Amino acid sequence: MALASVTARAGLFLEKTRRYITETYGAQNDGFVPLQDAHIPGARLVRLDGIDHASIALRWLRPRGPFEPGRVAQALVALAVE
């Protein structure tokens, strides 16, 4: 199971790197990891749109983010054991 996130606008700490990856490599990314690098060969990939790399773990960075970390973790575990 692999989790990838992609955003058009990252938070304060990741926006510069998001822009750099987009402009330099033309790759969708979350401000830290390009989408294609988040995929692990042989693993199922879950893609979350609209959040940066830190948002799911550091909730205080984006308190109104679209995904609640606990529910994401439960969903990933459910998919992994399915």
Q: Give the tens place of pLDDT for each residue, 11-62.
A: 889 999 999 999 999 999 999 999 999 999 999 999 999 999 998 888 776 6
DSSP string of 19-68, one letter each residue: HHHHHHH---BSSSSBHHHHPPTTS-EEEEES--TTTTT-GGG-TT-SS-
pLDDT in the model for residue 12: 86
pLDDT in the model for residue 8: 96
